Amino acid sequence: AEVAPGAAADAGIVVSGPGRSVRLTAAALAALPSAQVPVPGGRTFEGPLLWTVLAHAGAVDSTKHQGDVRGAVLLAGQDGYTAILALGELSPQFEGKQVILALRVDGQPLELGHLRVVVPGDMRGGRGVHDLVQVRVEQAFLPPQHTVR
Q: What is the dihedral angle through the alpha carbons of 122, 126, 132, 138, rounded to the nearest 10 degrees?
A: -80
Q: Return d(Cα 117, Cα 110) in angstroms, integer.
A: 12
- The answer on pLDDT for 12 being more than 90 is no
Type of residue numbered 35: A
- The answer on pLDDT for 113 being more than 90 is no
Q: Return d(Cα 43, Cα 105) in angstroms, integer.
A: 7
How many CA atoms are closer than 13 Å to the CA of 36, on its beta-carbon side? 8
Q: Is the whole-model pTM more than 0.85?
A: no
